[in-house]
Amino acid sequence: MKPRPARRGPRRAGERMTSVIRARLTYGTTPAPTCPVRLGRMKGNALELRAVTKTYGPITALGGVDLDVGRGETVAVLGPNGAGKSTLLSIALGLRAPASGTARVLGRPPAEALRAGRVGVLPQESGLLEDVRVGELVAAVAGMYPDPPPPERALRAAGIEELARRPVGRLSGGQRQRVRFALCVAGDPELLVLDEPTVGLDVEGRRALWREIRTRTGQGRTAVFATHYLTEADDYADRIVLLAGGRVVADGSVAELKSLVGGDEVRCVLEHADPAELELLPGVRHVSVEGRAVRLRTGDPDATLRALFRGYDDVKDVRIEGVDLESAFVSLTGRRSR
C-alpha cells in the first residue's frame, strides 16, 4: 500500500493523534474502518434484508423482516418502543448477527462495508473523548477512512466550525450531538445510518442537520434513520418503514401510509368524553381522547358531526382535518409515539 502524501493544516494534528485515538475512541459500538481500498460504487440497493430474524431468549425482536432501501433514498424506520428498530439497524451494520436470514449493505456483508468506510453511523448513545479538541477528533476519525475529504468539510456540515479548537468536555449536549454527526460524515460515506439523530438539538439545529442530509441524498447517497419524532419522518423521509412486534406492518410514502388508514379526522374539545360512547357515533372508525382533546377518525365526517352535536352540548373548537402521520402510526401499531 502506497504511503499517503503529506497534508497541510488540521489534518497534521489529526494524524499525530490517530494512533492514540484509535486505542481510546469510544464512538458508540461502531468499529473503526480499516480497509485501505475505496470500493467502487455499485448499482442496486444500498441495504437489503431478507427474512431476517433475531431473538433474545423467548423474545422475538425481529420476525422475518424483508427490506430493500434504494440508492439515494431517505428512509425512516418507525415503531413503538420494543418494535425492533435498533435491532434492525444493528444487524444492518453488522454489529449483531441475525438468528436467520441475510443482510447486505452496498452489495457486501454489512461488517465488510463498514470496515471499507462506506457507511457513516450516528448511534443513539455514544461516548466522546472529553480532553480532545473537536477539530483534532474529527481529523483523527477522518484519517481512519480511505481517501476522506478535508475534515473542515465535516465540521462545516455539522455547523461546528467555530468549535474546532474547543475541548469536547466543554460542549453542551446539542453541540456534542453535532460533533457526533461530524464524525458520521467525516469519511464521506455512501450510506448514513442514524439512530435518533436530532436528540438534544434545538429547532435550528434540527433543520440544519436535515438540510445537510437531504443535500447528501440529493447527490445519490442514502440515509436510513430511526426516530420517535414523527414530524421529522413526515417532513424529510421519502419512505417510511413501520415496525410493530418485530415485523414490518407498513412500508411506503407518508401519503401511502395515510391512505391505508383512510377517512378524515374530526377534532374537538369535549369535557368528560367517553371513548366507548364516541365509538358508537356514525362513521367513526377510531377514537383518541387525551384530556379534553378528542380525535374521531371517520369515514363520514358530516354524519359524525351531526351526531356529535345532537349528543353533546359542550362541544368546542371543532375542525375537520385529513389523517396525519401520528394517526396512521397509532392505527397501524396501536401505540402512540412522541
pTM: 0.74
What does residue 85 show for φ and ψ, rounded to 5 degrees? Answer: -60, -55
Q: What's the confidence (pLDDT) of residue 21?
A: 44
From first to last of its 338 residues, what are the pLDDT tens digits of the chain? 444 444 444 444 444 444 444 434 433 333 333 332 333 334 579 999 999 999 999 999 999 999 999 999 999 999 998 899 999 999 999 999 999 999 999 999 999 999 889 999 998 777 788 889 999 999 999 998 888 899 999 999 999 999 999 999 999 989 999 999 999 999 999 999 999 999 889 999 999 999 999 999 999 999 999 988 888 999 999 999 999 999 999 999 988 888 777 778 899 999 989 999 999 999 998 898 999 999 998 888 999 999 999 999 999 999 998 877 887 888 788 654 44
Mapped to the 3 state alphabet, what secondary structure does the chain carry?
CCCCCCCCCHHHHHHHHHHHHHHHCCCCCCCCCCCCCCCCCCCCEEEEEEEEEEEECCEEEEEEEEEEEECCCEEEEECCCCCCHHHHHHHHCCCCCCCEEEEEECCECHHHHHHCCCEEEECCCCCCCCCCEHHHHHHHHHCCCCCCCCHHHHHHHHCCHHHCCCEHHHCCHHHHHHHHHHHHHCCCCCEEEEECCCCCCCHHHHHHHHHHHHHHHHCCCEEEEECCCHHHHHHHCCEEEEEECCEEEEEECHHHHHHHHCCEEEEEECCCCCHHHHCCCCCEEEEEEECCEEEEEECCHHHHHHHHHHHCCCCEEEEEEECCHHHHHHHHHCCCCC
Q: What's the confidence (pLDDT) of residue 32?
A: 38
What pLDDT digit, counting tens, does each position of 284-326 carry?
988 989 999 999 988 889 999 999 999 999 999 999 988 778 8
Return the CATH fold of 263-322.
Alpha-Beta Plaits (3.30.70)
Q: What's the confidence (pLDDT) of residue 336?
A: 45
Distance of alpha carbon 301 from alpha carbon 283, whole angstroms: 7
What does residue 325 show for φ and ψ, rounded to 5 degrees? Answer: -65, -35
Cα angle 259-260-261, degrees, rounded to a multiple of 5:
90
Q: What's the confidence (pLDDT) of residue 8?
A: 40
Q: What's the confidence (pLDDT) of residue 228?
A: 85
Class of domain 10-39+90-257: alpha beta
Residue tagged 436510513 (cell numbers): 224
Domain range annotation of the chain: 10-39+90-257, 263-322
Contact in structure between 171 and 150 (CB atoms under 8 Å): no
Distances (CA, A) of 166 to 154, 162, 163, 210: 16, 8, 5, 24
Cα angle 140-146-152, degrees, rounded to a multiple of 5:
45
What sign for the dihedral angle of Cα 266, 268, 270, 273? positive
Q: What's the confidence (pLDDT) of residue 43?
A: 57
What sign for the dihedral angle of Cα 179, 180, 184, 187? positive
